[in-house]
């Protein structure tokens, strides 16, 4: 936020890679599921330039399953016969390119030839040649970070572009890219549901998929109007969730110029120099201003008046209040003394340094939401309470986005919303933060997204 929570570079939790090219990008990852997928041979599904590598094996398996997926989905949702890729598939090892493995047109075609090194550190669909090319060295690198489902996710996104080439590209690049993310989400749900013959994925591994989407966002502060824009991490994961939950029909119908995108540019040189991050000692004042204001605006709609809890920090040793000390908590609300407690040494400080300033706001907001639920006579320590607290935190972040705190000269900076999602996918899974829930990071981010986009209706507080 400006005048406070500004954006930091994404931490080790999710590296940042900008993938450019013709309608191209890469998406997240996990690992093989519980079944025994059947590998597709090179003879059955040829990829020019491929080698006997894990990246090529997974890409080939995914492409075969995508062929099945779209042969069913395209006629159903677009009313026309499915047209497979006609220009072929190309694999390149950008660290050791063998020019002899490719025809004279390289990874392109007679109409639009392209050298194999044109796909280095990337993956792309070329509408001029109706061809897909990818750098398997990059896939290996990203698979090591996000798991072996990366290759299939990459292929699902790029084949999504191929389908756009058939039903029509949107006018805006960011719409095109996030719609392809949506189509990758629809395919991923199809895989999760056990329909794929050659790849598999567990529900528990979806956390890594979402981290992959965040990590492969545009650089923070990148213009959403640029013709290379792919979106913020939140934009990309929102596209994926839309497809995962709503299927191909949602991807077809809901991706227009009116769709909400949170990617923004830095407005000042100071924001750029600071990577959009506020000084740590400013954040408490900003949270202390905005969180009470948020709940003071919410409670009248519930027929209640909000009383702000005390917020206290500690360094490493949890206070002996309620279950805080016994569970060695880093974060929580203690009803016994009406106080939100947060651990600066083990939670807020590391989250600030590793993720960014809005990760700090997210942490405090989660426990603050528990305090609000307690005032409403609702549970604060079960799965419903956790989901509700995350949803309310999303609503709080959404109020920032809509400018509710601009009177106090406080607003979101580029990347802040991504930081909230990264916090949930990392610290949100720790027992010291949420000890009484089995919610996955994927489910938490979905609840946050619901609150951010839709307000409090789904936050289970009686609205």
- Tell me the H-state helices in 328-404: 349-354, 357-375, 383-401
Using an 8 Å Cβ cutoff, are 349 and 413 in contact?
A: no
pLDDT at residue 276 tops 80: no
Residues in a beta bridge with 312: 341
Matching residue, tokens 């996104």: 157
pLDDT in tens, 245-272: 999 999 999 999 999 999 999 877 777 7
Q: For residue 268, what pLDDT is reported?
A: 74
pLDDT in tens, 110-151: 999 999 999 999 999 999 999 999 999 999 988 899 888 978
pLDDT in tens, 195-233: 999 999 999 899 998 898 888 899 999 999 999 999 999
Q: How far apart are CA 454 and CA 463, in angstroms?
A: 12
pLDDT in tens, 347-370: 999 999 999 999 999 999 999 999
pLDDT in tens, 415-456: 999 999 999 999 998 999 998 788 999 999 999 999 999 999
pLDDT at residue 239 tops 60: yes
pLDDT in tens, 383-423: 999 999 999 999 999 999 999 998 788 888 999 999 999 99
Task: With H, G, I as helix, E, B as strand and everything else as coil, classify residue 49.
Answer: coil
Neighbouring residues of 314: CB distance < 8 A, sequence distance ≥ 6: 341, 342, 343, 344, 345
DSSP string, 98-115: -GGGS-TTBTS-SSS-B-
Scored b (16 or more CB within 10 A) or e, 33-42 reads beeebeebee
DSSP state of 294: H
Q: How crowded is residue 97: how many other Cβ atoms within 10 Å of its Cβ?
A: 18
Q: How crowded is residue 427: how many other Cβ atoms within 10 Å of its Cβ?
A: 26
Q: How far apart are CA 340 and CA 312, in angstroms?
A: 6
Q: How far apart are CA 51 and CA 285, in angstroms?
A: 56
Q: For residue 10, what pLDDT is reported?
A: 31
Q: Pairing mode, if any, of strands 331-334 and 123-126?
A: unpaired
Q: Which of 178, 184, 236 is nearest to 70 (CA)?
A: 184
User: How sure is the predictor about 11, in pLDDT bands with cuts at 50, 70 and 90?
Assistant: very low
pTM of the complete model beyond 0.85: yes
Using an 8 Å Cβ cutoff, are 118 and 107 in contact?
A: yes
DSSP string, 130-188: TEEEEEHHHHHHHHHHH-TTHHHHHHHHHHHHHHHHHH---SSHHHHHHHHHHHHHHHH
Using an 8 Å Cβ cutoff, are 17 and 218 in contact?
A: no
Q: For residue 21, what pLDDT is reported?
A: 39
Matching residue, tokens 């942490």: 363
Domain boundaries, the chain: 54-253, 278-458
Q: At what angle do helices 441-454 and 416-426 cross, to 10 degrees?
A: 150
User: How sure is the predictor about 2, in pLDDT bands with cuts at 50, 70 and 90?
Assistant: very low
Q: For residue 424, what pLDDT is reported?
A: 97
Q: For residue 35, what pLDDT is reported?
A: 57
DSSP string, 428-449: GGSTTT-TT----HHHHHHHHH
DSSP state of 48: B
pLDDT in tens, 31-75: 344 457 899 999 999 999 999 999 999 999 999 999 999 999 999
pLDDT in tens, 79-91: 999 999 999 999 9
Using an 8 Å Cβ cutoff, are 290 and 400 in contact?
A: yes
What value, to the nearest 5°, has the Cα angle with vertex 350 and ends 294 and 452? 30
């Amino acid at each position: 936020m400006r005048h406070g929570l500004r954006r930091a570079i994404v931490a080790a939790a999710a590296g940042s890679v900008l993938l450019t090219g013709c309608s191209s990008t890469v998406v997240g990852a996990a690992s093989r599921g519980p079944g025994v997928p059947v590998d597709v041979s090179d003879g059955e599904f040829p990829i020019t330039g491929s080698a006997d590598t894990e990246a090529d094996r997974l890409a080939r398996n995914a492409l075969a399953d995508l062929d099945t997926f779209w042969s069913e989905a395209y006629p159903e949702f677009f009313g026309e016969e499915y047209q497979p890729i006609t220009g072929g598939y190309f694999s390149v090892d950008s660290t050791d390119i063998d020019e002899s493995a490719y025809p004279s047109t390289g990874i392109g075609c007679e109409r639009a030839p392209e050298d194999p090194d044109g796909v280095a550190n990337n993956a792309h669909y070329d509408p001029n040649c109706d061809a897909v090319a990818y750098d398997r060295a990059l896939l290996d690198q990203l698979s090591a970070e996000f798991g072996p489902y990366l290759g299939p996710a990459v292929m699902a996104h790029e084949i999504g572009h191929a389908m756009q080439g058939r039903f029509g590209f949107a006018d805006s690049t960011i719409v095109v890219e996030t719609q392809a993310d949506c189509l990758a989400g629809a395919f991923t749900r199809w895989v999760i549901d056990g329909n794929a013959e050659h790849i598999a994925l567990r529900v528990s591994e979806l956390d890594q998929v979402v981290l992959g989407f965040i990590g492969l966002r545009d650089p923070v502060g990148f213009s959403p109007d640029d013709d290379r824009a792919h979106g913020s991490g939140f934009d990309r994961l929102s596209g994926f969730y839309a497809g995962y939950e709503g299927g191909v029909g949602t991807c077809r119908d809901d991706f227009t110029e009116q769709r909400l995108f949170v990617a923004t540019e830095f407005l000042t040189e100071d924001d750029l120099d600071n990577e959009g991050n506020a000084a740590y000692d400013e954040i408490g004042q900003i949270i202390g201003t905005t969180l009470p204001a948020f709940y003071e605006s919410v409670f009248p709609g519930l027929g209640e008046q909000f009383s702000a809890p005390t917020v206290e920090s500690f360094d490493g040793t949890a206070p002996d209040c309620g279950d805080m000390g016994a569970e060695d908590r880093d974060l929580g609300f203690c009803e016994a003394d009406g106080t939100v407690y947060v651990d600066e040494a083990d939670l807020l400080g590391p989250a600030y340094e590793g993720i960014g300033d809005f990760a700090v706001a997210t942490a405090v907001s989660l426990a603050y939401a528990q305090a609000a639920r307690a005032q409403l006579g609702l549970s604060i320590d079960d799965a419903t309470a956790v989901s509700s607290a995350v949803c309310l935190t999303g609503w709080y972040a959404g109020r920032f986005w809509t400018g509710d705190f601009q009177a106090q000269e406080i607003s979101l900076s580029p990347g802040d919303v991504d930081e909230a999602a990264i916090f949930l996918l990392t610290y949100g899974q720790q027992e010291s933060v949420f000890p009484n829930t089995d919610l996955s990071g994927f489910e938490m981010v979905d609840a946050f997204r619901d609150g951010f986009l839709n307000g409090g209706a789904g936050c289970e507080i009686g609205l």
